[in-house]
Amino acid sequence: MIFYSTRSKSHTADSTEAVLKGIAPDGGLYTPVDFESMRLDVADVLNKSAIEISAAVIGRILNDFTPAEMRAIIEAAYAGKFETEDLTPVEKVGDDFVLELFRGPTSAFKDVALSVLPRLIIASREKLGVKDEIVILTATSGDTGKAALEGFHDVEGTRIVVFYPDGGVSDVQKAQMVTQAGGNVGVCAVRGNFDDAQTGVKNIFADDEANHWAAASGARLSSANSINIGRLAPQVAYYYKAYCDLVLRGEITLGDPVNFIVPTGNFGDILAGEFARRMGLPVAKLVCASNANNVLTDFINTGVYDRRREFYKTASPSMDILVSSNLERYLFLASGGDFDLVADLMDQLKREGVYIAPEGLMAAMRDHFSAGCADDAKALDAIRRVWKSHGYLMDTHTAVGWAVMEEFKAREDNGWANVLLSTASPYKFSRDVLSAISDAEPESGFGAMRLLSEVSRVPVPEGLASLEGKAPRFTDCVGKADMLEYVKKAVSR
Ligand SMILES: *Cc1c(COP(=O)(O)O)cnc(C)c1O
């Protein structure tokens, strides 16, 4: 399989190179175009286990690994690490379905991919005969950081440095990161928001000085953000798994299309749904749900991508994003692989903060995508109503999706089953979730966690309960311009 940079013809990679590099030298994102050769029929995986489905799906996309190699990678990545054996269970809530992606070690959907990525990177390094230490740089809006630390800590041949926006993550998310154990990890706050942290990391990848420094130190920079194709591929699997579950339970008939509603930030999760659709999964609509940072809602509805707008800190911080990296991959696919168009639009976005996509591309997008947004008030109201009427507790990100799903059904009900992707455990955002279902006013995120557990009678996940009282290991905070210095320091430690 050839992976193309989205920005020029001259940078191609096979799957091991794409995984190891993370991002193409021209700043583009490695993307496959030949989905016909990646085709996977549901019937071929219908009765398989979650781990088997995952190995089959990822193996189709990253095809430089043999089926036996991939199977071993996936087995080692997941076995015994998730709360449920089927990894990503589907719950029926009212007439709709909730796909729970948060049953992994850090209680966010990022675990699904970040449990696998370190093993893909190490296996790629071996296959390519690379001896350099792989230095993973990650910007996080809250959940990626911890899931990446959990996946990479003490993995031989790797180091990981995580940057998070100072004051831009929940207290539980912060505690998860700054208490991380491991000899090869670094965690640092950045003065700014997530976009600042993400831009800072992207700039380091594109910086000659940084790359020379890395080469001279026997290191190689790579990314655990969803710009890495090795992050995206594992996410395609749960679309297949959910579909199989619905067929096996008799909720749908094999071949029926299904709507997937996806709480979206960087457009990685929903893009995995588009990959699944292009690989042959019967998908009706992919519904992109945003919070008050609704740049994608506007884009899908108008064709104008305009990041020059107020940035809101919301109760769903992992979706507080104005520059959605993976949309670049979608533009590339939907334009039929038009490198020049994508390079031009990305350049406009960087220089002017805005671009307008061609009408033909937007028409194609609207055939398969729909979009909506919900602010904090709407999301909290959804948590309260769903708890009251169905006894099902959602986190704040999932709640944005629920509210958008309701609007979607009212606007364009196509009659097909709706699957809402649930991206985090309610306990990760206890304070806001609790405020939606009770009048309690706990002092801390941990107090909220305990109260929430008392009210809901759902136990707190072990990884979160054990955080309280742990001393922080990392207290650094740097400006955007000093991120590379921090990386150098962390690597030489
Ligand atoms: C990362 C994240 C999202 C957004 O996913 P993208 O792939 O960035 O669109 C939504 N909800 C939660 C809880 C997340 O951690």
Q: Whose CA is nearest to atom 1 of ligand 1?
A: 318
Distance 81 CA to ligand 1 centre (A): 20
Tell me if 143 CB under 6 Å of ligand 1.
Answer: yes
pLDDT at 440: 86
Looking at residue 348, what is its pLDDT? 98
Longest alpha-carbon distance in the chain: 61
In 3D space, the residue among 32, 16, 22 whose CA is nearest the CA of residue 66 turns out to be 16
Q: How confident is the model at residue 202 (pLDDT cuts 50, 70, 90)?
A: confident
Which residue in the block uniquely carries the two structure tokens 């990392």? Answer: 474
pLDDT, position 444: 81
* Mean pLDDT value of segment 227-239: 96
pLDDT for the residue numbered 1:
84
R_g of the chain, CA atoms, integer Å: 21
Q: Give the residue from 54, 68, 70 showing the smallest Cα distance to 19.
A: 70
Closest alpha carbon to 414 in 359, 372, 368, 379:
368
- Cβ 52 vs Cβ 220: under 8 Å: no
Distances from the Cα of 227 to the Cαs of 20, 198, 417, in angstroms? 12, 11, 30
Adjacent-strand bridge partners of 37 = none
Q: What is the pLDDT of residues 203-221, one digit of tens each?
A: 998 899 999 999 999 999 9
- What is the tens place of the pLDDT at every residue in 379-420? 999 999 999 999 999 999 999 999 999 999 999 989 999 999
Cα–ligand 1 centroid distance for 422 (angstroms): 10
Query: Residue 250: its pLDDT value, please?
Result: 98
- Strands (DSSP E) found in 330-379: 354-356, 369-373
How many other C-beta atoms can be found within 10 angstroms of the C-beta atom of residue 467? 17
Q: How confident is the model at residue 391, as a pLDDT?
A: 95
pLDDT exceeds cutoff 80 at 493: no
- In this prediction, residue 23 carries a pLDDT of 87
The best mutation among 109, 235, 464 to test binding of ligand 1, ranked by most ligand atoms within 8 Å of the C-beta, falls on 109
Lowest mean pLDDT among 89-93, 187-191, 192-196, 364-368: 192-196
pLDDT confidence of residue 475: 96
**Interatomic CA distance for residues 15 and 22, integer angstroms:** 10
Index of the ligand 1 atom closest to the CA of residue 395:
13
Q: Which of 66-70, 170-174, 469-473 has the highest mean pLDDT?
A: 66-70
Quick one: what percent of the chain has pLDDT higher than 90? 86
Half-sphere exposure of 88 (CA within 13 A, CB side): 33
Q: How far is the CA of 279 from the centre of ligand 1 (A)?
A: 22
Please report the pLDDT score of residue 384 as a whole number: 98
Question: Residue 195 above 80 pLDDT?
Answer: yes
Ligand 1: centre distance to CA 109 (Å): 7
* Span from the CA of 168 to the centroid of ligand 1 (angstroms): 15
Ligand 1 midpoint to CA 236 (Å): 14
Ligand 1 and 267: CB distance under 6 A: yes
Average pLDDT over residues 114-128: 95
pLDDT digits (tens, 9 = 90+) for 23-50: 898 989 999 999 999 999 999 999 999 9
Give the sign of the dihedral formed by CA 445, CA 450, CA 452, CA 453: positive
Q: Cα(190)–Cα(186) distance, rounded to whole angstroms?
A: 13
Using pLDDT thresholds of 50, 70 and 90, give the confidence band for residue 434. very high
Alpha carbon 435 to its chain's center = 26
Q: Are strands 354-356 and 369-373 parallel, antiparallel or unpaired?
A: unpaired
Q: What is the pLDDT of residue 364?
A: 97
**Using CB atoms within 10 A of its CB, is residue 289 exposed (0-12), middle (13-18) or buried (19+)?**
buried
Q: Report residue 162 as tokens.
A: 């995580």
304 pLDDT band, cuts 50/70/90, is: very high
Is it the case that residue 458 has pLDDT exceeding 90?
no
pLDDT-based confidence at residue 492 (cuts at 50, 70, 90): confident
Structure tokens belonging to residue 414? 């196509």
Average pLDDT of span 94-110: 96
Distance 259 CA to ligand 1 centre (A): 18
Concatenated DSSP letters of 106-137: TSBTHHHHHTTHHHHHHHHHHHTT--SEEEEE
Quick one: 187 exposed, middle or buried, by C-beta within 10 A (0-12, 13-18, 19+)? buried
From the CB of 226, is ligand 1 less than 6 Å away? yes
pLDDT at 415: 94
Q: Report which listed range, 396-400, 435-439, 464-468, is most confident.
A: 396-400
What average pLDDT does range 45-71 have in this prediction?
97
Q: 208 CA distance to ligand 1 centroid (A)?
A: 31
Query: Which residue matches tokens 């390094």?
Result: 125
Please give the full DSSP string across 10-69, using - where no structure is assigned. Answer: T-EE-HHHHHHHSS-TTS---EE--GGGG---HHHHTT--HHHHHHHHHHHHSTTS-HHH
What is the per-residue pLDDT for 141? Answer: 82
Test site for ligand 1: of 231, 262, 269, 297, most ligand atoms within 8 A of the Cβ: 269
pLDDT digits (tens, 9 = 90+) for 327-345: 999 999 999 999 999 999 9
Residue 445 confidence class, pLDDT cut points 50, 70, 90: confident
| pLDDT number for residue 469 | 85
Select from 382, 384, 426, 429 the least CA-distant residue to 404. Answer: 382
Q: Check pLDDT > 80 for residue 230.
A: yes
Which residue's CA is minimally distant from atom 8 of ligand 1? Answer: 266
What band does 119 get if pLDDT is binned at 50, 70 and 90? very high
Give the dihedral sign, CA 206/346/24/261: positive
Which amino acid type is present at position 490? A
User: What pLDDT is attached to residue 107?
Assistant: 94
15 pLDDT above the threshold of 90: yes
